[in-house]
Amino acid sequence: MIATRESRLALWQAEHVKALLQARGHRVELLGMTTLGDQILDRSLSKVGGKGLFVKELEVALEQGRADIAVHSLKDVPMDLPEGFALACVMQREDPRDALVSPHHESLAALPQGAVVGTSSLRRTVLLRSLRPDLRIEPLRGNLDTRLRKLDEGRYAAVVLAAAGLKRLGLADRIRQTFEPSLMLPAAGQGALGIEVRADRSDLVAALAPLAHQPTWLAVTAERAVSRAMGGSCSMPLAAFAMLDGAVLRLDAAWGDPEGGPALVRASGMGAVPGLPEAAALGERVAADLRAGGAR
């Protein structure tokens, strides 16, 4: 049994995992759930408890035995799981980049002076401000369809969303501009799916092993280590993105002041990462460089 949120994107992700497991001979059903994060739409996540609000109810279902695994967008998963739970599998990443969606403007540069751009991500807010200080960044909550509806109603000139979600739902044609990481650094874990289990379910860890993608797992481990070392919550305007080249992982991170303080603090590092501990150590070194540069 797979525990999943009931948004269209979450259900797509759970169905994707279900199909892969069924192809390997497993019997799989879905347990759809509405989480607290889905219910609270009038305040930013950073003010109501962070992205862990999207996973808590799913973990309760695992704990009670109503579900065996939970499928998450990895960027929604807290950096430290509660005791008794484990990340059993990280799957191959979809496009990790951010995307601009706009009915009338083909790029960020084409937006008129003072245009309203929607996002509730502090990371996207500080990165957008560094690129276009003149823009008005306004809160935007809700699932992907809700955000697009608010855009189409004319409340925003553009919104910034994860390219992965748009592509998974067949909405790639809505993308006007995809931001290269050199321009807008993604969030830790963006575009990757993680599968959570109870830590004592070694049978599930073995069953999920064929779905794991080690290059993605190494990259997101480094990214999440940066976030964990910096405090590990979505109330932090932090970006971290890693890419594996052979055996060498390159990790870039950025931090900005959401109150509009000094320019972005950036740090990067690279090194051989034969396993997850080495990837995590790289993330901790880059986080230390961020703090040395003035990040809080």
Tally of residues, the chain: 296
How far CA 15 is from CA of 11, 60, 164, in Å, comes to: 6, 21, 16
Rounded to the nearest angstrom, the gap between the alpha carbon of residue 272 and the centroid of all alpha carbons in its chain is 24
What φ, ψ does residue 237 adopt, rounded to 5°? -80, 70
d(CA 85, CA 196): 7
d(CA 20, CA 14): 10
Residue pair 1/67 in contact (Cβ under 8 Å)? The answer is: yes
> Which of 113, 125, 111, 168 is CA-nearest to residue 145?
168
76 is catalytic: yes
How far CA 231 is from CA of 64, 139, 182, 234, 288, in Å, comes to: 29, 23, 24, 9, 12
Q: Which of 76, 95, 98, 252 is catalytic?
A: 76
Catalytic residues, which ones? 76
